[in-house]
Structure formats: C-alpha cells, structure tokens
Amino acid sequence: MSDILEELEWRGLIAQATDRDAIGAALAAGPVTYYCGFDPTAPSLHHGHLVQLILLRHLQRAGHRPIALVGGATGLIGDPRMSGERTLNDRDVVSQWTERLRRQIEPFLDFEGENAAQMVNNLDWTSGLSAIDFLREVGKHYRLGTMLAKDTVARRLASDEGISFTEFSYQILQGMDFRELHRRYGCTLQTGGNDQWGNLLSGVELIRKADGTGVQAMTTPLITKADGTKFGKSEGGAVWLAPDMMSPYAFYQFWLNTDDGDVERFLKIFTFRSREEIAELVTAVAERPKAREGQRVLAQDVTTLVHGAEATERVERASQALFGRGELQDLDAETLGHAVAELPRGEAVVGESNLVDLLVATGLANGRSAARRTIAEGGAYLNNVKLTDEDHVLAPEDLLAGRWVLLRRGRRNLAVAEVAEVAGA
C-alpha cells in the first residue's frame, strides 16, 4: 500500500498521533479498520466535520476500512465546551439530528467492496447498559487525576460555572465507544479534531487496561485562517454542510472568497487535487492573483464534494449571471433567491417605481440627483441591461422569478429590489 500517512502529513491533515511509526507501519501493512465519531449536537455537520470526512475518505481510498459513528448516545450529553454547560436537547430532537447527520455522512464513503464503510450508532450499545454495569465494567478503569487534568475539564473546574457530572462523564462514554468498536470490528485507529485529543486518549487507555491491547489515535489540526482568525462564515460562525442551513450558493462564495494566503493550505486539506495540480494553482495565484484561479477550483471542488456537481453548476451559472456573464432569466427561483440573499435590497412597486426610485430604494444612489447622474453617465443596469431612460417604470416582464429585479451601478455594485405590490391591484 502507498504511504498514505506521508500523504496526509503533506496535506496538513495530521496534528498529533499516539505513535506515528506504529500507525505508519499498520497503514502500510493494511488494511486498518478506523473510525471517527460525529455527535448530533446540531442539525448539521460543519466545516470542522468536513475535515474528518475528507480524512476518512483518503484512508478508504488507500484501502482501509472506515467506520462512521453517529453519537445517538453521546449527542444526548454533548462534549464539554471551554465555557458554559450545554443545553440538553430533547431525545426526539437528537434522534432527528442523528438521522440528518447519517444522511450527510453517507455520500463521502463507499459502502460496498472489500473495504466497505460501516455506519454505527453508539446508542445501540449504551441504551441497555445499567448504571451499575457501566461503573463496574468501564468506570473502574478510569482515574480521576487523569480525567481532571484534561484541558477542558480543568478550565471548567476553575471557572464560576464549574462542570456537571454529566459532561464530566463524556470522555468515558467516548472511550467506551472505541472499546466497543475494537471488540466488535477489530477497530484499531480513531481519528478526530485536535480538540478531541483527550477524548481519543481515553479510548486508547481504556482498551489497554480492559483488553490488554495497544490501539492508536491521531488528530487533524483545527483550521484557522492565515491571519489567525477563526475559520467560518463570520467570527466564530460555522460553514454548515446542510443546504437548508447554508445555501450551496453561499457555501460556494465562502470558498471563492478565500484569501490568497490560505489557498494552498485549503487546496491540500479540502480537495483531492494532486501535488502537481496544487503547485500549478499556487503559481497561478501568485502570478495572476486577480484571476483567482486557485479559489475557483477550491470552490468548485468543495461545493461538488458536499452538494454535488449539479448544484455547483447552478451556483456557478448564478454567480456569472449576476455580473452579466449569463442569463438571469435562466436561473431557477431557489438558486436566484440564494444568489441575491446577501445583496443590499429595497422595495419596488410594479407599474409605479421608476429607475431613479429603484436606485435610491436599494441604496445604489445617495439621493435622486445622484441616481439621475448615474443613469445619464451610462452606469445604471436593470437585470444587467444598461438603461438610460430615468423614467423607465418597472413592468411585470422585468421581474425575475416573479418577485425580484437586479440593479447594478457600474461594474461591481449590486443590489436587488423586491416587489411589494402591483400598482392598482
């Protein structure tokens, strides 16, 4: 088998490992059964989970056997955060989120063939476990000193809110998951984000003490931007994978807006492009930064990976059409709605609002005199068509999807007017 561990390290997908040489040797001898857990503490996976899914996929493509665990049990508790106790979600809600996450994970893995993936739910082996059996069979292997030393736990203990026994016990449950998968399927490697290092070690130690066997764990780095700020839609925000929480258009635009300094790292982590392809794209970004070739490939690949090729094609057509490089009228209402969702907007009335009104209402002109000046200078566009008649009144045929009209001032300043009512109706 190829040196998959070296490839993962080159891509920046490895942060910590229990024994790098042992993991490398096992992966080279292969196949290795490995797993990653995903807790349903929200109705969607996000960019942090995407790193794990890509890691699982790399390993499966190298011939190893993945197990994707959706935490129907651990999701009822939640991993301790650095501050503040989690709100315990209703069981029905967690069950619904578990199913949503399962459907999100499935497209990333191959469930057929010699190294077919498996999907499991830790509620299957915890729901029937009594408190006495849990304490006798699992709890006896844990030492409080080690548990208290975990970074998140130590911080919470030192804070005013402290930490509940419920969240404190999370690391035992995750350790029990690794032991169960080791016993059932011969799983010998767990992966996770670097903030999960303590929980991963919990399983490694439990298996060593309970079964007398050595297993391994490794983590991926937490993704930040080149300037050190958080990786997300906004400071602290998440890039959701579910289209009903972040539209494919907004998802695509997030990657397209990647800073030049982050392109190489993100291409390595979030795409499956070869070293040669990435090197060419990095050179293109350095030599022709305005073309944003690296960002476009990044946005195409990641959007296709998460939402599919058809959604990516729709998004790209919408992105081009907004700036006059495609037909706005050809866009479906949903894609168009997502494309204009973040634009400045104003209200319009069919049969009443004229071009001056629209420019002012959408904020593209600071007053009616400025609007007339823009029109006279040839800088006003309605649905990407240049208009020089300031008295042009909005007509039904101007509407996109029966409700919007796109306004542009100059080349880059966009806004959308939304129909409030039809005059005389």
If one counts every other C-beta atom within 10 angstroms of the C-beta of residue 192, the result is: 23
Tokens standing for residue 357: 């009104």
Q: How far is CA 141 from CA 124, 147, 168, 205, 206, in A?
A: 22, 11, 15, 9, 6
In the numeric block, which tokens belong to residue 323?
Answer: 């700036």
For residue 40, cis peptide bond before it (omega within 30 degrees of 0): no
The count of other CB atoms within 10 Å of the CB of residue 288 is 11
Does 252 show up as a binding residue in the annotation? no
Question: What does 120-151 look like in DSSP terms, one character per residue?
Answer: EETHHHHTT--HHHHHHHTGGG--HHHHHHSH
- Asked if residue 225 belongs to a known ligand binding site, the reply is no
Q: Is 233 annotated as a binding residue?
A: yes
User: 338-361 burial string, b = 16+ CB within 10 Å, else e?
Assistant: bbbeebebbebbbeebebbbbbbb
Please report where in the chains the tokens 């022709």 appear, as a residue. 288
Contact 262, 229 (CB under 8 A): no
Q: Rounded to whole angstroms, how far apart are CA atoms 334 and 51?
A: 28
- Structure tokens belonging to residue 285: 């970004």
- Assign 335 to helix, strand or coil: helix
Tokens linked to 345? 């907007």
Give buried/exposed letters for 221-247 (b at 16+ CB in 10 A, else e): eebeeeeeeebbbeeeebbbbbbebbb
Return the residue matching tokens 């203990």: 157
The structure tokens listed for 177 are: 């998951």
Instruction: Considering only CA atoms, give the Rg of the chain.
Output: 26
Is 170 annotated as belonging to a binding site? Answer: yes
Q: Is 324 left (phi over 0), alpha (psi -120 to 50) or beta?
A: left
Q: What share of the chain is helix, strand, coil (3-state, %, to 5)?
A: 50, 15, 35
State the binding site: 35, 170, 174, 233
State the binding site for ATP: 233
State the binding site for L-tyrosine: 35, 170, 174
